Amino acid sequence: MKTIRSKWSLATLALFSAALVLFSSCNENDPITPDPNIVEVAASNTNFSTLVTAVQTAGLVPTLSGKGPFTVFAPTNDAFNRFLTANSLTAAQLLASDGLEETLTYHVVGASVPSSAVTAGKVTTVSGDPFYVSIAPNNEIWINGNTKIISTDVAASNGIIHVLDNVITAPTQNIAEIAIASTTAATPQFTQLVAALVRANLAGAFQGGFNDNLTVFAPTDAAFQDLYTALGVSGVDEIDLATLTAVLQYHVVPARAFSQDLRQGASLPTLLSGKNLTVNLSNLKINDSGLVAAALNIHATNGVIHVIDKVLLPQ
């Protein structure tokens, strides 16, 4: 019995050794090629040529070729062209800008996030600034209210790519700063809103950062003029201060709600205790005030502004 076991062991060892030699020979003749990383995947797609050039110029190739994992929200060439046109920039100016690296890293999340794991809310990016994801009623995924994810789950060895139809940028001004800046624009919109906030001593409440979340439904100057006419006054100084304060609070929702986050028939609580706003998406209205379609999702560090054409009055 000992002799049979010994012969069986020697035979097994010989076969195993032969298998190792054969396996080694196959490896030498057919080397395994690693899957392409995020940069290599992007470089192989002509729709990402502007993005790849920008990544190379910013010196981010080693980082995005590293172990990761990363999720890259990648603007197409058309997305970059729209961004350049909207900001009166050339490609050369963008590539030479001091903020190029920050802009690019704002498109990168330091984790692997497949589309199945994407949820609405705040997302921290590699740049350090957050962006905000919204899921529209038709299930489209939007970022910062103005950029749509048009393709998802492009696989790479060190992460995932989701494709964007625009370039995303972090806001640099808070709600108060945006409103004040508008008063000196060629066609000012919010001179009366700012005057009302100052009189009610509420301007300071809108000077926050990313940890603050407000949605302001901002009446235009024309909307305030209609209110003055209805009340028979000439301006905000003639409106009772308590009334003016309540009206202003009624225009503010204590949450960051982009238009894609709104739902038909939703009731939105406001800073005026016990008073809610009603969403009518079918007619693009908040209560009886129309949302100005061309002026939605004005993104601020502390929230978002939607322009409306009528001053909202609490019942």
What are 246-297's pLDDT values in tens digits? 999 999 999 999 999 999 999 999 999 999 999 999 999 999 999 999 999 9
Quote the CA–CA distance of 153 and 258 in Å, as a whole number.
24
At residue 34, does pLDDT exceed 90? no
Quote the CA–CA distance of 50 and 47 in Å, as a whole number.
8
pLDDT in tens, 128-142: 999 999 999 999 999
Give the torsion sign (CA, 279, 223, 175, 299): positive
DSSP state of 291: B
Helix boundaries (H) for 170-300: 175-182, 191-199, 221-231, 241-249
Three-state DSSP class for residue 279: strand
What pLDDT was estimated at residue 82? Answer: 96
Token couple for 260:
């894609």
- The pTM of this model reads 0.87
Domain ranges of the chain: 38-164, 175-308
* 38-164 and 175-308 share one fold: yes
φ, ψ of residue 300 to 5 degrees: the values are -125, 165
Q: In CATH terms, is domain 38-164 a member of 2.30.180.10?
A: yes
Architecture of domain 175-308: Roll (2.30)
